[in-house]
Amino acid sequence: MEKKEQNEFGYAEAGYEQTDAVPGTQGGRPDPMNSIEGSFKSSPFRGDKRGAFSGGVKGGFSFIREKAGRHKTLIANFSYLSALKIFNMLLPLITLPYLIHVLGKEVYGLIVFAQAVIGYLVILVGYGFNISATKEVSIHRNDKKKLSEIVSSVFILKGILLLISFLILAFIIEFIPQASDHKTLFYLTMWMCVYEYIFPIWYFQGIENMKYVTYLNLLSRIVFVSLIFVFIKSGDDYILVPLINGIGASLAGCISLFIVFRKDFIELIVPNRKVLIAHMKESFSLFLSNLSNQTYLHASKILIGIYLSLSATAIFDLGQKIYLALLTPIAILSQTIFPKNSLEKDKNFIRKMQRVSLIGMAVLIICMFIAAPIVIRILGNNQMIEATNVLRLLSLSLIPTTAANFYIIQTMIPHGYNRSYMRIIITAGLIYIIMIIALKMTGLFSVNTASIIPLVTESYIFLDSFYFCKKRNLI
């Protein structure tokens, strides 16, 4: 067996080899099809049609039970993640028409603008740990000492990055007119960074226990929705929106910390400097990739707010929110199978999941093209009909985004190709920047043209990642 190169944390970066350890097994696990055949052949009724039918039915049920049993944790996590994503998708959309009606497009656009700016600082605080730490926790989940080292390292490093993000915000506020005129709004919007720090979703994903994440996020969202309808009564109350968000998020975050350190008995220690540096190096490529990957998610709203208007920002945000909601199924699936796939790296499993996802997404796009005007009227409170084109144009990128996810997240990262992943995503970010500059210089920059750019960048990511994986026989 080929010896795998070890990284700073002591596990094979390039992945694990899977061999049939025993004839009639798949990767060292019993082959359910062999079990069914064996049961059928040994049946005393095999010469009788009724016996054959009975044996086949029993074998079929046995196969289903064995499959379900093998993937019991995966199914449970998929269920919890589904509930989590659906609630995260639906509850904000419930308040959206109300906020647009009460605050107006301009003020709502200001809130969206602040969230877009702080969104970049959230990326800094996250620093790629939501992927790298998930992977490490998944691998070392049964080693309490190693797990305490990983958790402590991530919290210490993210705490330092949180302090840096506050300093960066203080600097930004002095140079962006929309921010300097609304300092309180921007500082309160920093709840997003605090939540990124105190809520360890990477830990719960790594141990494949999404039950707590679902319950806590649901609690946070319910608090937010309830308080919005109680306290937001006019445009002057806009400053309460981030404050209410922060209250719910902080409550969920504090409870999650109690679970990690009290219920799961994870110890908070001070790792040595070499370990902290190793964690930073391990996540650096993921941080740069995430920064580039999130560029058009936040940058478009910031640029629209600066060069067009805050009302235009609100229009683009409405279309983008629905677009991101459409990505919810693939996000659920991706987060569910990532810990399992980090260990097993099953090509056939990934191919099956990709085919099912692409078919489902194609159906979703067709439905959304038809229903877009109705959806926009309802959620935009009849004030943002222009968002219909934004939604349709953004929806076109769903196919390449879905396909690329299985090559990037489910194949390249589990096999340790973090730097190649970084190269692809950074190149896509540069393509985005070049297109924005070209549109601005030619006077063609608008809400609609900004909505086309994701299709171009996501198509590039899909093609490049597919070629990379195909060349190395990873798919």
Is it the case that residue 302 has pLDDT exceeding 70? yes
Q: Residue 240's pLDDT is what?
A: 94
Confidence of residue 169 (pLDDT cuts 50, 70, 90): very high
Per-residue pLDDT, 79: 75
Question: Which pLDDT does position 64 carry in this prediction?
Answer: 45
Higher pLDDT, 126 or 342: 126
Q: Taking a C-beta distance cutoff of 8 angstroms, is the pair 391, 453 a contact?
A: no
Give the range among 106-115, 271-280, 346-355, 361-370 with minimum mean pLDDT. 346-355
User: Quick one: pLDDT at residue 92?
Assistant: 74
Residues 304-351: pLDDT tens digits? 998 999 999 999 999 998 998 888 888 878 877 777 777 777 788 888
| Selected residue with higher pLDDT from 82 and 307 | 307
pLDDT for 65: 54
pLDDT interval class at 67 (50, 70, 90): low
Say what the pLDDT of residue 398 is.
92
What is the SS3 string spanning 188-234? HCCHHHHHHHHCCHHHHHHCCCCHHHHHHHHHHHHHHHHHHHHHCCC
> Which residue in 466, 464, 467, 472 sits closest to 425, CA to CA?
464
* Least confident stretch, 29-33, 115-119, 421-425, 435-439: 29-33
Q: Please provide residue 24's backbone torsions phi and psi, each rounded to the nearest 5 degrees.
A: 85, 15
Compute the distance between CA of residue 447 and CA of residue 313 in angstroms, rounded to an integer: 8
Exposure on the CB side of residue 226, measured as CA atoms within 13 A: 8
186-199 average pLDDT score: 94
Residues 148 and 269: beta-carbon distance below 8 Å? yes
Give the separation between CA 246 and CA 420, rounded to whole angstroms.
Answer: 36
CA 194 to chain CA centroid, Å, is: 18
Which pLDDT score is estimated for 410?
Answer: 85
Residue 376 is encoded by which pair of tokens? 């926009």
Residue 374 has a pLDDT of 93
Please state the separation of Cα 437 from the chain's center in Å.
Answer: 28
Using only C-alpha atoms, the chain has a radius of gyration, in whole angstroms, of 24
8 Å CB contact between 97 and 381:
yes
**Which residue shows structure tokens 């995430």?**
290
Q: Is the pLDDT of residue 39 over 90?
A: no
With cut-offs at 50, 70 and 90, classify the pLDDT of residue 71.
low
Q: What is the mean pLDDT of residues 254-281?
A: 90
Which residues share a beta bridge with 26?
29
The helix, strand and coil proportions of the chain, stated in percent and rounded to the nearest 5, come to 80, 0, 20
Question: Over 50: is that where the pLDDT of 48 sits?
Answer: no
72-82 burial, b at 16+ Cβ within 10 Å, e below that, comes to eebeebbebbb
- Helix H or strand E encompassing 4: none
- Separation CA 130–CA 377 (nearest Å): 36
Greatest Cα pair distance, the chain, in angstroms, is 85
Token match 């990709």: residue?
A: 354
Q: Is the pLDDT of residue 85 over 90?
A: no
Q: Which of 49-53, 306-310, 452-456 is least confident?
A: 49-53
Residue 351, pLDDT score: 86
| Distance in Å from the first CA to the final CA of the chain | 21
Q: What is the pLDDT of residue 193?
A: 95
Mean pLDDT of the chain: 81
Instruction: State the residue for tokens 């941080």.
Output: 287
In this predicted model, which residue has the larger pLDDT, 43 or 237?
237
Burial 276-309 (b: 16+ CB within 10 A, else e): bebbbebbbbbbbbbbbbbbbbbbbbbbbbeebe
For residue 292, name the pLDDT band (cuts at 50, 70, 90).
confident
- pLDDT range class, residue 42, cuts 50, 70, 90: very low
User: Could you give the dihedral angle defined by the CA atoms of residues 112, 115, 116 and 119, in that order, rounded to the nearest 10 degrees?
Assistant: -160
pLDDT beyond 80 at 99 = yes
Alpha carbons 30 and 432: distance in angstroms, whole number: 48
Note the residue count of the chain: 475
Q: β-pairing, 29-30 with 25-26? A: antiparallel
Average pLDDT over residues 64-92: 67
> What was the pLDDT predicted at 390?
94
> b or e along 45-68 (b: 16 or more beta carbons within 10 Å of the residue's beta carbon)?
eeeeeeeeeebeeebeeeeeeeee
Percent of the chain with pLDDT over 90: 39
Residue with token string 């998708």: 89
Residue 286's identity, in one-letter code, is L
Q: What's the rounded mean pLDDT across residues 102-128? A: 92
Tell me the pLDDT band of 74, cut-offs 50, 70 and 90.
Answer: low
How far is residue 48's CA from residue 273's CA, in Å, rounded to a whole number?
71
- Quickly state the pLDDT bin for 119 (edges 50, 70, 90): very high
Q: What is the pLDDT of residue 328?
A: 81
Using pLDDT thresholds of 50, 70 and 90, give the confidence band for residue 86.
confident
